Amino acid sequence: MTKIYPRTGDKQTVYLNAVIKDSQIEVGDYTIYNDFVADPLLFEKNNVLYHYPIHQEKLIIGKFCSIACGTKFLFNCANHTLKSLSTYTFPLFYEEWELEKSNITTAWDNKGDIVIGNDVWIGYEAVIMAGVHIGDGAIIAARAVVPKDVPPYTIVGGTPSKEIRKRFDAEVIQQLLILKWWNWSTDKIRQCLPYIAEGKMDELLTRNKERL
């Protein structure tokens, strides 16, 4: 996508993949970020934190996600290693302590990439920690701190975050994960939008079987 602003006259909301420059950040089509405090064009600087090139770690965000103002993604360099007897990151200051520069990454624990599924809603000032995977259709409550994986179509909140409830029953969740409507063509999504928006699962399943 090359279009930056989804709505005429709204400079607070952007299609995120149109403003990302870092090759280690991948964002799917139609995912939006809203920021009424800072410039949303500065998402990489203000929201993706401790994301240093030395690790080659990735932030992967799916399609049709909604990311609210102040959401933070905290990467591995924020995690001082727990293997040491000290909390101080001595390897990071290798010059001061006459250490090998090649050992710099031992200063922190590597928990892996952050992966956000499709159709995920992340609330105001939520914090997503390194290594966390959030499933399709999940909702992260405002100011939640998410230190562990979130299953698909699950609502979590709190510090640390805990499951509040599932969005739908198990059968509907399974049907949605099979349909993967976010991968449909734009025309097909547009035709099926009334069923998606109004929660008409049976009609959506029927419509999907038809040739669109």
Same domain, 32 and 124: yes
Looking at the structure of the chain, the number of domains it has is 2
Q: Model's pTM, two decimal places?
A: 0.94
Looking at residue 155, its pLDDT comes to 98
* Cα 159–chain centre separation: 18
Same domain, 34 and 72: yes
Across the chain, mean pLDDT equals 95
Question: From the candidates 51, 55, 80, 133, which is the catalytic residue?
Answer: 80
Q: Quote the longest CA-to-CA distance of the chain.
A: 68
Percent of the chain with pLDDT over 90: 91
- Please give the residue range of the domain that contains residue 117: 13-78+112-167
DSSP state, residue 118: S
Same domain, 74 and 173: no
Radius of gyration of the chain (CA): 20
Say which CATH number the domain at 126 has: 2.160.10.10
80 catalytic residue (yes or no): yes
Same domain, 154 and 194: no
Chain segment 159-210, per-residue pLDDT in tens: 999 999 999 999 999 999 999 999 999 999 999 999 999 999 999 999 888 7
87 occurs within a structural domain: no
Same domain, 21 and 67: yes
Same domain, 28 and 71: yes
Phi, then psi, of 14 in degrees rounded to 5? -130, 155
With a cut of 50, list the residues of the chain below it in pLDDT.
none
Same domain, 184 and 153: no
Same domain, 190 and 120: no
CA–CA distance, 58 with 126 (Å, rounded to integer): 19
